[in-house]
Amino acid sequence: MTRDRSTQTKLIRLGQILRIFMEKGQVSSSWLSQHFRTTPRTIQRDLLLLKESGFPLYEVQKGLHKMSKDLVKNLEIFDDTELALVVALKNIVGQLGEPFRKAADGVLDRLYDCVTSMPIFVKIDDAVPLDSELLNKIVRAVREKKQVTFRYAANKGPHPVQMEPYRVAYFGGFWYLIGNEPATGILKRYALDRINDIRLLKTCCQDVPEDLDNILHKSANIWFTGDMTLEVKVLIDAQVSHYFRRRMIFPTQELKEERPDGSLVVTFRVGRFEAIRNVLKSWIPNIVILEPEDFRKDFLKDVKGWVKRQEHII
């Protein structure tokens, strides 16, 4: 409990330091030390943490600091507790790498816009709760490039896993650990809420694949792969075609044909058919799968099975 209170006090102080920088042009570390009645060393650690979390603080001269206000957005709208939460979030995601930081900054930007424009409503799906101790171990392993072992609670029963951790990713309300399995050389993903007894090994990891972040960026769900060699061609009914004209329903969506009746022929490139299957199911009955034939038959079999189950409900 004492440690929790200490962490909370520190985060509140960090939020208040941010507010001071937003209100003043330049601030000395000695003034901050006197203002918060703490040691100069503590203030130095606070300023370093804020810098490492991505806030644009820099030292004008020895002991005198300034924040580039043109690089931060609308922080003044938050109270001290909310600012403390922003600091904590930016610090956590900063440890996960640049792509994760950019993703989080995008979410925070939308949050700023939402708060300053109350008529706007943004719905973000709740995520499966994260185990902070587990996340800290994974972040440490990624930063130190250490392999990990853990027990994974799969549907067919728990089993041991050894892998090189690369990234923590969020898809559809679930958090995943993504990395290479040394035994097979296959890039795999494991849901964080099913990972138990994780341990860091002394064995080092290989470098993260250069194209990994690009692959994740182009993925709509956890069925990602670098080789998107499969193509699915779909006919979209005129009643819903405007949705596909206005935005990308899937990252690799490509408009191939606009027909006189208002319908569209659209293609999707995927690495595995599982990546697009459920996406397309959500558009039934306003779609027709044209190609490939095997995927069309398999998709139809799934739908017929569902219809049969519905017909037999008492």
Tokens 């706007």 belong to which residue? 120
pLDDT digits (tens, 9 = 90+) for 18-38: 778 877 778 899 999 998 888
pLDDT of residue 137: 86
Is the model more confident about 125 or about 235?
Answer: 235
124 inside domain: no
127 inside domain: no
pLDDT of residue 93: 57
Domain stop point among 191, 217, 243: 217
Q: Cβ atoms within 10 A of the Cβ of 307, count?
A: 10
Confidence of residue 264 (pLDDT cuts 50, 70, 90): very high
Q: Are 192 and 168 in contact (CB under 8 A)?
A: yes
Q: Which of 210-214, 224-228, 271-275: highest mean pLDDT?
A: 271-275
Q: Are residues 152 and 254 in the same domain?
A: no
Percent of the chain with pLDDT strictly greater than 90: 26
- Check whether the bond before 292 is cis (ω within 30° of 0): yes
Calpha distance 233→220 (Å, rounded): 17
Q: Which of 83-92, 181-190, 228-237, 301-310 has the lowest mean pLDDT?
A: 83-92
N-term to C-term CA, the chain: 53
Confidence of residue 304 (pLDDT cuts 50, 70, 90): very high
292 inside domain: yes
Q: Which of 107-116, 158-167, 201-210 has the lowest mean pLDDT?
A: 107-116
pLDDT of residue 295: 95
Q: Are residues 109 and 198 in the same domain?
A: no
What number is the average pLDDT over the span 30-49? 89
pLDDT of residue 257: 94
Q: Which of 60-64, 90-94, 153-157 has the lowest mean pLDDT?
A: 90-94
The CATH number of the domain holding residue 76 is 1.10.10.10
Domain stop point among 88, 116, 144: 116
Tokens 């898809």 belong to which residue? 171
Calpha distance 44→29 (Å, rounded): 7
Round the average pLDDT of the chain to a whole number and report it: 80
Confidence of residue 302 (pLDDT cuts 50, 70, 90): very high
Q: Is the pLDDT of residue 119 over 70?
A: no
Q: Count the domains in the chain.
A: 3
Calpha distance 228→248 (Å, rounded): 17
Domain stop point among 91, 116, 141: 116
Q: Cβ atoms within 10 A of the Cβ of 216, count?
A: 19
Report DSSP letters for 136-147, one per residue. HHHHHHHHHTEE
pLDDT of residue 275: 87
Write out the two tokens for 208.
């993260």
What is the β-pairing status of strands 174-181 and 146-154?
Answer: unpaired
- C-alpha distances (whole Å) from 116 to each of 75, 119, 124 are 11, 9, 17
Calpha distance 296→101 (Å, rounded): 39
Q: Are residues 148 and 105 in the same domain?
A: no
pLDDT digits (tens, 9 = 90+) for 277-293: 989 999 999 999 999 99
Q: Residue by residue, what is the 3-state secondary structure of 76-105?
A: HHCCHHHHHHHHHHHHHHHCCCHHHHHHHH
pLDDT of residue 298: 94
145 inside domain: yes
Q: Are residues 172 and 239 in the same domain?
A: no
Confidence of residue 208 (pLDDT cuts 50, 70, 90): confident
The CATH number of the domain holding residue 212 is 2.30.30.520
Helix (H, G, I), strand (E, B) or coil at 251: coil
26 inside domain: yes
Q: Are residues 98 and 40 in the same domain?
A: yes
Backbone φ and ψ of 169, nearest 5°: -125, 150
What number is the average pLDDT over the span 150-158? 89
pLDDT of residue 3: 54
pLDDT of residue 226: 65
Q: Are residues 91 and 136 in the same domain?
A: no
Q: Are residues 168 and 110 in the same domain?
A: no
Q: Which domain holds residue 275?
A: 230-311
What stretch of H or E contains 197?
A: strand 195-204
